[in-house]
Structures are given as C-alpha cells and as structure tokens.
Chain A
Amino acid sequence: MLEVLTNAPLNTVQDLGRPESISYGVACGGAMDCNAFTLGNILVGNSPDAAGLEIVFFPFKIRFQQDCVFAITGAPAKVRLDAVPLPSCWSMMARAGQTLVMEAPEKGMRSYLTVAGGLDVPRVLGGRATDIKGGFGGFEGRGLQKGDLLPCGKSTTCSMPTNGLGLAALPQLPHKNGLELHVLPAAEYEEFTQESQACLVQQQWRITTQANRVGFRLEGDTSLQTRRPLSLLSHGLLPGTVQVPPSGQPIIQMADANTCGGYPKIGIIAEPDLSLLSQMPPGGLVTFRMITHEQALTRFRAHRQHLRQLAEQIDAAKAYILTQ
C-alpha cells in the first residue's frame, strides 16, 4: 500500500487510458505525458499499461507501507526518500515506513510515480485511469486525498540494485519558449485561407491559462479563418486534434477531450509531440511545422522503437548489475 500524506485533488491514478471505450462517449484519458509514464513502467519492470500516479500538484508526499520498487519520471521534481535526495528519472527500492517527498520541478508540469506491479485499482471500462469528469476509474473516481491507501499489485520482477538505477541520458523537456509541434493536415486544412495556413506555421502561439487535461487553448496575434463559414456535423475526436472554433484561436485536444466535436480541424499532433506539449506551462510558446503523414509515421515509429530499446537496455543493465 501507498499512503497518501497530502491532499492533492489534481493528482490522479492514470494508465494508458481506455481507447476501446471511446464509443460509449468516454474520454480516452490516461497519462498526459505517456512517454514519461511508459518510461516509469519500464524502469520498474511493468507492462506498459500498469497504473501509476500523475503528479501535477506539489509538494506531494506518500509513505510506503510495504517494501516497494518505484520510479519517478516526467518533470524533474525534487525528490527525497526520507532524507536522501534522488536523481531525476530514477528507480529504486523503498522500505516499508519510508516517506517520499516530491517538490515542484523547475521545468515541466507533470511527474509520474510508478511502482513494480502497478497500482491495483479496479479496471473500469477497460482501464484504470481516473476519469475526473465522469467520476469513475482510478482511486474512487477522484483525485487523491490525505489518508488514501493505494494498493500495489503483485510484482514478479522487483530485483533492483541497492542504490537503484536510472537513465544516463535524461529525456529532454521542451523549453517553455520554444516547442516546435509537428502537425499533419486535418480534414478541413484546405478550407482555411492561405493567409491562415501561413499564419499557423509562421506565428508563435501562446498557451493560455485554459490548459488542462481536456485541452490546451492557444492564442496568437492573428486568428485563423476558413474561406467560408463551415457547419460540420459532429464527428469523432481524438487527443492531438487541433480545432479552430469561431474565435479563430486554436484548441488542442488532450487526453480527457470530449469524444465528439464539430469545430473545423486544421491539424493533428501525434506522439512524441503530444507528450512534450503536456509538459508546457501556461504562458509557454509553441510553433507549428507542417509534416506529411509519412513523416509523422516515421517519427511515431522511431519513438516507439526507442522505448523498446530502452526497455531492453534497462533489463540488460539490471541483469548485469545484479550478477556483480
């Protein structure tokens, strides 16, 4: 069990979401930075879909009520296990009774805590992620409160060097004034004026304070316009879709987006960019760069391949260290 020592209603149990339930109108959900989340599961030897914590509210404290292999990934929070500071992107064994304290990161928005065996909360509609809007999934369908006891699943591979292990090359977080988002044209791209198509990639876009798990609203000096008024019938919507409402200021759909919408779509952002975007603070600046589907696919496949290689390297490193 993990005992939560801080009230933190925006810190939630997440996994990789419940894509198979989108047809019920249920948000896909899951970790916003699924890249960092997957890395956390790799470090503790879990399958990629094991449940962990998404932490956006600091300081955050938990007490381990059992011996437990854990990892911290994502935004580099200042982490202490009892009095001992831990490096970023690190995994190790905690002993029963030890307390983990996470202070706000200087860069990035979301840190992840994974435990070997995963958090053993019930699977609802195919996933363990918390759906805050719907009030289901995760731990009692809500964010975490002081006193919550989070059960850990059985872990098969929790061997770990005494001082733990981490990554030599830390994953880079985006600079708050310069994330370039690769975007592929969506269904209504051609319906936008040439000026708007140019504007999309030429001007900087500021992330507004309306940036949360549902969507990131952007603002730019010049708004985007279609050639003629469009009235679209409602259609399925996936995280990563860049919608342009009548205001002309784009909204990027994120993990907890509604499953249907009707605003014109100018583009689509895929992984690994969506994970990077989730680490950008309000006020941060992004630019767009158009790519073809083929280029997006190459980036996506390279990203997946990289994660698979990391998993193999970490397994090999653990096996090597433990035989020494």
Chain B
Amino acid sequence: MRINYAGVDAFLLDMSEGAFQDAIQARIWGLEQLLTDMPEIQTVILGANNLLVTYDCERHQASAIRQMLQTAWEQAGSAHITPRELVIPVTYGGLEGEDLPFVAKTTGLSESEVVALHTGTPYRVAMVGFSPGFGYLTGVPQPLAIPRRNTPRVHVEQKSVCLGGGFTAVTPSPGPSGWHVLGKAHCPDLFDAGANTPCLLKAGDIVRFVSA
C-alpha cells in the first residue's frame, strides 16, 4: 500500500497493482468498515483499488493517523457484505444507445454480440462516486474493456448505460460524459437527495443487465 497526502488533513491510500482487482476491492470495503468506526477519521471516500480519508488535523498528528491506517489495512479482511442483487432492463442501441455501433466496430463484434456479452455477466458496484449516486460497476468482459471516448460528449441523458475504461455504469443524472453510451436503463432513480438512502447502488451490490 502507498500512502500519500491528499490534503493538509487527508491521506490517499493506494492499494492498486496494475489493473483493477476485485480481491483488493473486497479488502478495501473491509478497511472502509473498520475506518468508519474510528472516531479519528472524518470522511472515507472509496476509489477503485484505493481509498481517501480525512481527519481533524488540528487534533491529530499526521504520523499517528498514518500508522493507524497502516495497521488497519494489515488487519482488514474482505468485507462481510450480503450483496443485494439488482436486475436492470436495458434498451440497447438506437437513439438512446448511439455508441453501440462504434463499440461493435472497435471490438470487432456484431452489435448483438456486444449486447450478449454485456448482459451475459453479473457486475459488482466497486464504489459510488464522481457524481451523486454514480456507481462504478466492475466485471466488464475483457473484449468490452475499451478506452473512453477521445472527445467527451457534452450531454448524455439520465439512466444511460455506459462503458468506459474497464467499467460500466448507469448515469444517475444528465451531463457530460467520456463513456460510450450503449442503451437506456429502465430502473428507479439512482439518486434522491431527500431519501433516507440517497443512492440506489451501494458498494458490493450485484447488478445484472437484461435486454428489455
């Protein structure tokens, strides 16, 4: 694990070893559970094979926090999560999935093969972040792990099913995006600021896509 400052009151813990690994992420979920119970830690932000923490730097020494984080990582086992499983119907292609032809061309597959691959495997929510309720889904089949668009789109609709940089996701809100849009999800809102549980997705959840 590499520890770097991420602020005067923050550390970034980087556990990545090359490409994203599910086993590392499961242990990071375990670490998150440990850290959330520690009074010294203010905020925990999950990343992909990394994690950021903030603490009160007027009360605590950086060296003590660093040591505590090191020890916590050594103790952290894989998180005990009983995953929820969500099945999300998707309309692939067409106007609401305008990058499906591009993804097919790039991967050398037919559009229906891309859809078959994308629907043929369960995904896990590695973390929620970037924008409210945005869940990074891991487990993308290797042929679909293509880089992001060279030029981001200025506008992508809400609930677009996207693919980019080895992750797939459903966009919670409209906005710019550098990911490839495969289709439109038919699911409840992914974020509701007024709800007790604001995010539909939680780290560890299992998501399956089915063709609508």
Contacts and interface: CB of A to CB of B under 8 A. Distances in A.
Q: Do A and B come from one complex?
A: yes
A321 to B, nearest CB: 31
B129 A25 contact: yes
Contacts of A227: none
A259 B129 contact: yes
Given A124-B193, A300-B57, A260 B130 contact: yes
SS class, residues of chain A in contact with chain B: mixed
Contact of A25 (B6, B8, B20, B133): B133
Contacts of A259: 45, 129-131
B14 interface: yes
10 contacts: A19-B54, A24-B128, A133-B175, A134-B193, A136-B193, A187-B14, A236-B129, A240-B7, A258-B130, A259-B129
Interface of B: 2, 4-10, 12, 14, 16, 20, 42-52, 54, 57-58, 62, 127-134, 136, 165, 172-173, 175, 191, 193-194, 198-199
A304 B9 CA distance: 13
A270 B8 CA distance: 6
A124 B48 CA distance: 27
A150 interface: no
A26 interface: yes
A208 to B, nearest CB: 17
A180 B43 CA distance: 29
B131 A258 contact: yes
A45 interface: no
Contacts of B48: 233-235
Listed from nearest, the 4 A-B pairs whose CB atoms lie closest are A236-B45, A236-B52, A235-B47, A136-B193
A16 B195 CA distance: 22
B6 A236 contact: yes
A234 B7 contact: no
Contacts of B130: 25, 234, 258-261
Contacts of B43: 19-20, 22-23
Interface in A10-64: 19-26
Nearest to B4: A187
Contact of A23 (B9, B62, B128, B136): B128
A233 B14 CA distance: 10
A159 to B, nearest CB: 30
A25 B200 CA distance: 12
A244 B170 CA distance: 27
A181 interface: no
Contacts of B51: 236
Nearest to A20: B43
B202 to A, nearest CB: 10
Interface in A267-302: 268, 270-271, 293, 296-297, 300-301
A268 B7 CA distance: 6
B155 to A, nearest CB: 13
Contacts of A22: 43, 45, 129
A24 B132 contact: yes
Contact of B46 (A141, A236, A270, A293): A236
